[in-house]
């Protein structure tokens, strides 16, 4: 039993790794300079590592953080949250509202930590709202989150009265850039913190087990004493926490915010990461590490496409093709067909030998 489980898990993480190897080989053949990492200095004179791989590590971390929450939501509710991009805009807006405020001069009015905490609370509240619609009112997750997807960016603009506060304080740029003296982008460390926290939570609590149980069969898990409403709701609240972290990174990168563009289409990347990680999009079993791996693979793909001068507006078209290919390959119908084909070939082979 444990052996079987072990094999299935390693198989799951095999998908993103295979995709990663494929992409890496492709880049290696086309242009080996893709893998070059050089030590440079940023505008502040601090040593930083630059190169395509560093970009992947940097921007992939945002998706990885969201992928943690998205995996839990997917596993528990059997649907995805499509409002994360809009929610990141809200979180970022809250941070800027607390730190600079309307009509502020750019200096910090409150410690960054306070701004971040406020963003956490607000994001978790919005997560709780989504979770309530899904868990209590039993609305399909994607349609329930459609509400925030529609209203989110408007709410974000409203929080700051449609102004674009700019933070001039240097220390705020650390979260989305580099901490002086450390040449590795900070978002990577934030991602590591989130990942470790998530893994510890899964290891030492029943969260993972309960989530899977609810995702596989909500009514039978209820009969076993698990509260499926609470578990589903909790997964959305936890996703809210992930959203707040990404909101901090995103606003820190710009030291400001652009309501209509910030974290645009990031929900697509996060869902794609979950799918690429081999997790069933219809809920149930999940593997957080595979999702995180998937997130970095997505960023690898994005960076590769950027390198070939694909404009950021045209990018979704290519990603959409990848998504469709992924879901087609992993769809049960095609799987059955493939297995049938394999069997037939084996039979033919056997027939030929005898």
Partner 1 sequence: MTKAQTAKSGPASAKTKMTDTNLLLLITVIVFIIMYAGAMLFLKKGFLKPQTFLNILNANSALIITSCGMSIVMITGGIDISVGGVVALVSMSCAVYLDYQGGSVFGSLLIALGIGLAFGAVQGFLVAYLDIQPFIVSLAGMFFARGMTTIVHTAPFNVANEAFVALKGARILIPGLGTVTKAGKYVDAYVVLGVPVALLIVVLLFLVLRFTKLGRSFYAVGGNRQSALMLGINVKRTRFLAHLLCGLLAGIGGYVYFLYVGSGSASHAGGMEMNAIASSIIGGTLLSGGVGNIFGTFVGVLSLNTIQNIVSSIGLDDAWWTGITVAGMLCVFLIIQSVLLARKR
User: Among 205, 331, 342, 347, which residue interacts with partner 1 (rule: CB under 8 A)?
Assistant: 331
Minimum distance between the CB of residue 74 and partner 1, rounded to whole angstroms?
Answer: 11
282 CB-near residues (< 8 Å, 6+ apart)? 78
Q: Determine, following the binding rule CB under 8 A, whether residue 239 of this chain makes contact with partner 1.
A: no
First to last CA, the chain: 35
Q: Determine, following the binding rule CB under 8 A, whether residue 324 of this chain makes contact with partner 1.
A: yes
Q: CB atoms < 10 A from the CB of 292, how many?
A: 27
Q: Determine, following the binding rule CB under 8 A, whether residue 25 of this chain makes contact with partner 1.
A: no
Q: Determine, following the binding rule CB under 8 A, whether residue 308 of this chain makes contact with partner 1.
A: no
Q: Determine, following the binding rule CB under 8 A, whether residue 334 of this chain makes contact with partner 1.
A: yes
Pick out residues in 77-116 that bind partner 1 (CB under 8 A). Answer: 79-80, 82
The two tokens of residue 67 are 């992928």
Select from 58-66, 102-110, 169-177, 310-318 the region that touches partner 1 (CB under 8 A).
310-318
Q: Is 266 helix (H, G, I), strand (E, B) or coil?
A: helix
The two tokens of residue 4 are 């079987």
Residue that has been written with the tokens 């290891």 in this structure: 203
Q: Determine, following the binding rule CB under 8 A, whether residue 144 of this chain makes contact with partner 1.
A: yes
Q: Determine, following the binding rule CB under 8 A, whether residue 139 of this chain makes contact with partner 1.
A: yes
Rg (CA), the chain: 22
Q: Determine, following the binding rule CB under 8 A, whether residue 216 of this chain makes contact with partner 1.
A: no
Residues 98 and 115 sit within 8 Å (Cβ to Cβ): yes
User: Among 153, 232, 250, 253, which residue interacts with partner 1 (rule: CB under 8 A)?
Assistant: 153
Residue that has been written with the tokens 């997807």 in this structure: 149
User: Among 265, 340, 342, 347, which residue interacts with partner 1 (rule: CB under 8 A)?
Assistant: 265
Report the C-alpha gap between 242 and 174 in whole angstroms. Answer: 18
Report the C-alpha gap between 312 and 64 in whole angstroms. Answer: 20
Q: Which is nearer to partner 1, 189 or 318 (CB)?
A: 318
Q: Determine, following the binding rule CB under 8 A, whether residue 138 of this chain makes contact with partner 1.
A: yes
Residue that has been written with the tokens 């309530």 in this structure: 132
Report the C-alpha gap between 156 and 74 in whole angstroms. Answer: 25
Q: Determine, following the binding rule CB under 8 A, whether residue 164 of this chain makes contact with partner 1.
A: no
Residues 276 and 67 sit within 8 Å (Cβ to Cβ): no
Q: Determine, following the binding rule CB under 8 A, whether residue 162 of this chain makes contact with partner 1.
A: yes
Residues that bind partner 1 in the complex, under the rule CB under 8 A = 79-80, 82, 133, 137-140, 142-144, 146-151, 153-155, 157-158, 162, 265, 268, 271, 275, 281-282, 311, 313-321, 323-324, 327-328, 331-334
């Amino acid at each position: 039993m444990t052996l079987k489980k072990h094999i299935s898990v390693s198989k799951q993480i095999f998908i993103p790794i295979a995709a990663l190897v494929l992409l890496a080989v492709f880049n290696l053949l086309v242009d080996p300079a893709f893998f070059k990492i050089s030590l440079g200095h940023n505008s502040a004179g601090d040593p930083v590592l630059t190169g395509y791989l560093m970009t992947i590590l940097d921007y992939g971390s945002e998706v990885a953080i969201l992928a943690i929450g998205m995996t839990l939501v997917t596993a528990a509710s059997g649907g995805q949250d499509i409002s994360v991009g809009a929610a990141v805009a809200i979180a970022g807006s809250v941070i800027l509202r607390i730190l600079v405020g309307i009509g502020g001069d750019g200096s910090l009015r409150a410690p960054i930590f306070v701004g971040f905490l406020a963003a956490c609370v607000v994001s978790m509240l919005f997560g709780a709202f989504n979770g309530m619609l899904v868990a209590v009112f039993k609305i399909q997750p994607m349609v329930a989150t459609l509400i925030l997807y529609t209203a989110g960016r408007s709410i974000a603009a409203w929080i700051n009265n449609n102004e674009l506060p700019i933070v001039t304080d240097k220390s705020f740029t650390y979260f989305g850039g580099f901490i002086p003296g450390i040449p590795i982008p900070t978002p990577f460390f934030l991602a590591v913190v989130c990942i470790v926290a998530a893994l510890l939570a899964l290891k030492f609590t029943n969260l993972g087990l309960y989530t899977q149980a609810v995702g596989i069969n909500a009514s039978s898990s209820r009969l076993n004493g698990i509260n499926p409403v609470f578990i589903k709701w909790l997964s959305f609240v936890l996703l809210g926490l992930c959203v707040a972290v990404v909101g901090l990174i995103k606003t820190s990168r710009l030291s400001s915010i652009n309501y209509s563009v910030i974290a645009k289409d990031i929900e697509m990347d996060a869902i794609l990461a979950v799918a690429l990680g081999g997790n069933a999009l219809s809920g149930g079993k999940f593997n957080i590490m595979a999702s995180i791996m998937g997130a970095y693979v997505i960023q690898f793909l994005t960076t590769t496409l950027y390198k070939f001068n694909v404009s950021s507006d045209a990018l979704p078209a290519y990603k959409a093709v990848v998504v469709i290919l992924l879901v087609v390959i992993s769809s049960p119908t095609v799987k059955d067909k493939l297995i049938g084909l394999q069997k037939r070939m084996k039979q033919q082979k056997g027939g030929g030998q005898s």
